Every structure is written in structure tokens, then in C-alpha cells.
Amino acid sequence: MAGGSDAAETLSCARCSNPASLQCPKCVQLKLPREGAAFCTQDCFKASWSSHKSVHLKAKLSSLGTDGAGGQNSDLASEGWLYCLRKGQSRTPKLPPFNWTGSLRPYPISVKRNVPAHIDKPDWANDGVPKVEPNSDWQHRVEIKTPDQIERMRETCRIAREVLDAAARMIRPGVTTDEIDRVVHEATVAAGAYPSPLNYHFFPKSCCTSVNEVICHGIPDARKLEDGDIINVDVTVYYKGVHGDLNETYFVGNVDEASRKLVQCTYECLDKAISIVKPGVRFRDVGEVINRHGSMSGLSVVKSYCGHGIGELFHCAPNIPHYGRNKAVGVMKAGQTFTIEPMINAGVWRDQMWPDGWTAVTADGKRSAQFEHTLLVTETGVEVLTARLPSSPDVLPWLNK
């Protein structure tokens, strides 16, 4: 901490608003304005550090140019911030060339976060390659979970819900998606769990953050959320040998009416799909319900990605298409667990892939939204294993009507 040198200037603590005379040394080094970088005590500075350090990142990113994403940033690169390529297996200091469909651009990503040695890990944690999952019989047959598996999934899905809720509380203009990933990572590890996406087929982060025209699998990076954005945060955790998967789309500040309707309709698509889940229902019927509601609202349903079985495997049978007239086989039975996760677009349903090999975006650059739950088919209907809790943040305004 550096002491203030201008006795005539009265500053307020960035944390508690008390008179402040101490200055963040990094802000001094970067020659940033003293307002917002002053603190009354060392304790206030330490308590604010996790959020305050984003100011330094913003200053470093300013050297990228007027659009914030072009050119090389040697300062960020020297700290390990690089653009992602080849599904996470390669990095570059320069923005890759691409015919971008919308206004969003990738930003550099931080280095891989560590998971403590005592945390139980899936088999891809070290080398990025799933071993059991691709060759499992459960890729072709739908598993009926045992009571023990179901109980473990309940525990895991509750952790996943609490982690997503922690991420939701972070959503506001000025926060980077990398900061959201940090919160997801730390909350997951604190619960004794592993963030399932981390190093899964080399995915470089602990959650997916999909902003505006990104349909799914967006990689958390150095971009700051802006007023008017929408963002989907997709969380999966691995605990006691099973996975729990869910996601939600949130508003960032003041969002236009069309985006509000898109996000609410997507939520309703999932809600209506869940309402038909029970023994004897065909898996293909889920897509009919979602397609009907989305189409009636003038929106389109993504066809390239689907819901999936889940349990001791991250992805397995059944596949759950979200669009109409699909050819999914099989019927629901008590004891099955799977996700439903419709992706709804404001424009066309088709998608393109960014150079990172993960980020799927709308082909026309228009916005996309998604919601997801992990579900258990019961003897009489369905149990939403990742359901919202009484403690979940109030971030979906239509639920209050």
C-alpha cells in the first residue's frame, strides 16, 4: 500500500466510503485515477482485492485498441493471458482472423486454475482425455440409476446449484467472465468438488460463459460485461463420483425488450418440457414441446446441440433433441437421469464455430439464450435435481409475477 501524497485532496475509501489516504500500489504504477483506488485501512484494501483487481485488468486491456480485442498485448501475454485455439490445445498472443457473425469478439484467457490434490477428479483432469466415457455401454443404453447413485446425484446437483447461484450474484456491468469463472472454480473446490468442464477434451476453464450471440460453450476471458448484455453461465460439478449440470441466462444491467422476451421464452421452453417428463413419455416429445413454444414466439430452436444422459458419466445416453420432428429413440423410465437444455435463437437456428474450437455462435449474429436442469424420472413424474433454492438470488424477474 502506498500513502496518499496530496493532503489537500479528500478521498473516500472504495470499500466503506470512510476518509482514505492509502493508495493501491498497482493503481499508482499504472497511473490510474486516485478515485476508486483509495482505501482507509489495509483491511479494507485486502477485503476489496478480489473485485478491485479488475481495474488493473481493464487498464491493461486498453492497450489492445479501441475495440478492446485487437492486436497484441505484451503485458497480458507476459502474465499468461493469451487467445485460445484448437479446442484449448493451443494459445496465441494475437486475435485470430475470422469472419465474425456479430459484434462480440474473444479476449485473452488466463492460465488454467489449479485443483487441490485432495479433490476427487474425473479421468480427464490431468491430460484432457476422457477414458471411460467414450467406450461405455451407457453411450448406447440408458442407465437406470441405483438408489445410492440417485442420492449421490442429489448431493452433487445441490452443490452445482449453489455454485451457479454464486456466479449469478456476480453478474453486473464491469465484471469479466474470467472473474465469474474464478468464483465458480473457488466455490466448487470449497465444496470438495471438481469443476467438470475443466480440461474436458481440453476445455480450458471451469464453466462456460456464453454472451449475447454465443449459443453455448463460451470460454471465460478478459472481456468485461457491458450494460445490455445477456449471459448464460453453465456449471457442472463432479462430486462423489457423479456429475450435476445446469445453466441459466441472466440480464446484465438494462436489457432491451427483445432480449428480455428471448430469455423468458427460453425459460418457459424448459419449464414446459420438464412438465411432460414421466415414465412412458418418448424422448422425442421433448423437442416437440420446445419447438412449439419457441416457434409461436417467432424464435428458432438450435439443432446442433442437445440434452444428454448424466451420472457417473458427464455425457451419455439418452440424447434429448430440443427441436421438432426429431428421431430420438426410446421412452422415459423411472430412475433415468438426463438434462434438458434448450438453446433458443432470436434469428436463424444455424450456428458457426469460433477459432477456439469451442464457442458456438449464431450464424446471423443475433442473440441466443439457454436454460438447463438435471432431471430424475420418478415413478410418478419428475424430480428437478438442480432446482432453485430458497436462497437462490432473485435474478429472473418473471418468477416474481
Q: Which residues are annotated as a binding site for a protein?
A: 217, 315
DSSP 316-357: EEEEE--STT-----B--TT-EEEE--EEESS-S-EEE-TTS
Does residue 159 contact residue 239 with C-beta atoms inside 8 Å? yes
- Of the candidates 306, 310, 333, the residue with the CA atom closest to the CA atom of residue 320: 306
Give kind and range of the element (H or E) at residue 291. helix 284-296
> CB within 8 A of 139, min separation 6: which ones?
133, 316, 317
Quote the cell numbers at residue 309.
444422459
- Of the candidates 111, 34, 33, the residue with the CA atom closest to the CA atom of residue 76: 111
> CB within 8 A of 7, min separation 6: which ones?
none
User: Which residue matches cell numbers 471438481?
Assistant: 194
Instruction: Detail the residues annotated as belonging to a binding site.
Output: 217, 234, 245, 308, 315, 341, 372
Q: Provide φ and ψ at 176, rounded to 5°.
A: -80, 155
CA distance 321 to 336: 16
Quote the cell numbers at residue 315.
455425457
CA distance 164 to 183: 9
- Of the candidates 91, 73, 93, 13, the residue with the CA atom closest to the CA atom of residue 48: 13
> CB within 8 A of 58, min separation 6: which ones?
174, 224
Q: Provide φ and ψ at 288, rounded to 5°.
A: -65, -45
Quote the cell numbers at residue 47.
477485503
Neighbours of 287 (CB within 10 A): 26
